[in-house]
């Protein structure tokens, strides 16, 4: 029986990073994962994010943006193109190549850092003295490893919709939405969260008629509503996405005629038939097969593994990180928790602040934020001031042909400390990092305003918003 200091169950962004950091700290480490490649004939590390989530979706978004630009934007740059054609299968092939490269890269990193990789489903068998026994089930062939510490990083799975089964032929989850090799004439999307908006954007750009059905009455309720309202206007009026809010779905039928959705909205009944339907109503923690009940691992009422502020479970030397525990379901949150747990096992005192974790939606324009929204500050009774600036007059944005969007800086009215930064615009997924760093170092809006920002850059819009928070904007 193989013995280790640390056994990690799951090789997604939380698990594989935790395993690498543990190995760097001198622990004999094994990472157990049951992921397989698209063909289903070989192991694939990286979890949902690398295989059917973050990475492939960004590849498709970029491809669809290029196609849209060739059709609609090149002419104003003096570039004339002929009959622009789109090959969905080629786009998927490119996406698959990127996934293969990155998942193979994790295998290389494991070898470089001397992390042992075991293929199979990991579950907790119980304690043998002061070590844990972890069973590895490789398609029925079972083995057991022992480890002093276990890190559970099993991630999440799509939330099912009781009205219809996912077949990934006509009714799709995130994986099916990433593998369409033909452009559907009519595409329905249930859920206007990150997956719904990103996948809706991809297929709209390449020719689909897209309708998004959202149960919530508010668009992007988690985002700052000034930014959300601007986004809604861009997506619907300018880009042609049909987004229905406050929807109650009554029935879904999947037959030879397509996928028919019957629903109520605004007090009236509607029925739409789609060629394909994407179901993206959120994700739930993946604890299936862990034997949580058998070993007494506690979960909360929503199925998340209970942990304290340092990711310790109720079981000695068993930790849990990422989507399977409380907090935002984000790859970068999982990775940082993985690093922190490995360092805690080594006796270090790392710190992770959930208030400074950035959120990004990779639509066009992109949406990103960190910290409190204006609505949250009002609800909490916090006195604040704000500054906003737009990309419309930014030289770099105009040169890119992407001069839409806004940056908002929220700061404490008494101390000027930055409380939140919210953005919609070009490449704000990169720009939000400046807001994260400002908050991590307890910067004031004046600190951002007094930092020299290169000209011409998109970052000048954040600089201008910080100036505006002190009512001294220079360009607005």
Per-residue pLDDT, 1: 73
Is 68 among the catalytic positions?
no
Residue 57 phi/psi, 5-degree rounding, is -65, -35
CB 31 within 8 A of CB 118: yes
Per-residue pLDDT, 476: 77
Tally of CA atoms within 13 A in the half-sphere of 427 that contains its CB: 16
CB 164 within 8 A of CB 176: no
**Cα distance between residue 475 and residue 453, in whole Å:** 14
| pLDDT, tens digit, 9 for 90 and up, residues 387-425 | 999 999 999 999 999 999 999 999 999 999 999 999 999
Mean pLDDT by 10 residues, the chain (476 residues): 95 98 98 96 96 97 97 95 95 97 97 98 96 97 97 97 96 96 97 97 97 98 98 97 98 96 97 98 97 98 98 98 98 98 98 96 98 98 98 97 97 98 98 98 98 98 98 91
Residue 149 DSSP SS3: strand
Per-residue pLDDT, 426: 98
Per-residue pLDDT, 398: 97
For the chain, how many residues are written?
476
Burial of residue 155, with CB atoms counted within 10 A of its CB: 0-12 exposed, 13-18 middle, 19 or more buried: buried
Cα angle for residues 112, 116, 119 (degrees, 5° grid): 125
Helices (runs of H) and strands (runs of E) counted in the chain:
14, 22
Q: Which one of 66, 332, 351, 455 is the catalytic residue?
A: 455
Residue 30 DSSP SS3: strand
Residues 320-340, buried b or exposed e (16+ Cβ, 10 A)? bbbbbbebebbbbbbbbbbbb
Cα dihedral across residues 221, 464, 428, 16: positive or negative: negative
Widest distance between CA atoms in the chain: 73
**Cα distance between residue 340 and residue 179, in whole Å:** 35
Strands (DSSP E) found in 224-257: 242-244, 248-255
Strand partners, 189: 212, 278
């Amino acid at each position: 029986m193989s013995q280790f200091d640390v056994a990690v169950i799951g090789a997604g962004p939380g698990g594989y990073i935790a395993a690498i950091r543990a190995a760097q700290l001198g622990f004999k480490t094994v990472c157990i994962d049951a992921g397989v490649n698209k063909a289903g004939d070989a192991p694939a590390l990286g979890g949902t994010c690398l295989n059917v989530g973050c990475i492939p979706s960004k590849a498709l978004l970029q491809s669809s943006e290029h196609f849209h630009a060739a059709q609609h934007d090149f002419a104003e740059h003096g570039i004339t193109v002929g009959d622009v054609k789109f090959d969905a299968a080629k786009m998927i092939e490119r996406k698959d190549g990127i996934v293969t490269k990155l998942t193979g890269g994790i295998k290389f990193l494991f070898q470089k850092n001397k992390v042992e990789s075991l293929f199979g489903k990991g579950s907790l068998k119980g304690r043998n003295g002061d070590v844990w026994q972890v069973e590895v089930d490789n398609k029925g062939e079972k083995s057991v490893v022992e480890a002093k510490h276990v890190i559970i990083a099993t991630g999440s799975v799509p939330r099912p919709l009781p009205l219809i089964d996912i077949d990934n032929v006509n009714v799709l989850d995130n994986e099916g939405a990433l593998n369409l090799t033909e452009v559907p004439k009519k595409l329905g999307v249930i859920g206007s969260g990150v997956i719904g908006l990103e996948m809706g954007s991809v297929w709209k750009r390449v020719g689909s008629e897209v309708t998004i059905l959202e149960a919530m009455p508010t668009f992007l309720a988690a985002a700052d509503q000034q930014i959300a309202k601007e986004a809604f206007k861009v997506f619907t009026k300018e880009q042609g996405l049909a987004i229905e809010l406050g929807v109650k779905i009554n029935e879904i039928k999947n037959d030879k005629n397509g996928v028919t959705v019957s629903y109520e909205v605004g007090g009236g009944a509607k029925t739409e038939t789609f060629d394909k339907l994407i179901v993206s109503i959120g994700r739930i923690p993946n604890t299936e097969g862990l034997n949580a009940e058998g070993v007494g691992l506690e979960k909360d009422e929503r199925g998340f593994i209970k942990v304290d502020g340092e990711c310790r479970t109720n079981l000695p030397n068993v930790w849990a990180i990422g989507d399977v525990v409380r907090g935002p379901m984000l790859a970068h949150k999982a990775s940082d928790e993985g690093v922190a747990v490995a360092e805690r096992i080594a006796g270090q005192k790392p710190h992770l602040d959930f208030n400074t974790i950035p959120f990004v939606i990779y639509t066009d324009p992109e949406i990103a934020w960190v910290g409190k929204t204006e609505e949250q500050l009002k609800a909490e009774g916090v006195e604040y001031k704000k500054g906003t600036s737009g990309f419309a007059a930014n030289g770099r944005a105009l040169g890119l042909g992407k001069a839409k969007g806004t940056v908002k800086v929220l700061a404490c009215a008494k101390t000027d400390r930055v409380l939140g930064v919210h953005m919609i615009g070009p490449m704000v997924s990169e720009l939000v990092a400046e807001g994260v760093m400002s908050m991590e170092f307890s910067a004031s809006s004046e600190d951002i305003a007094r930092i020299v920002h290169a000209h011409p850059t998109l970052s000048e819009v954040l600089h201008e918003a910080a100036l505006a928070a002190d009512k001294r904007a220079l360009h607005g």
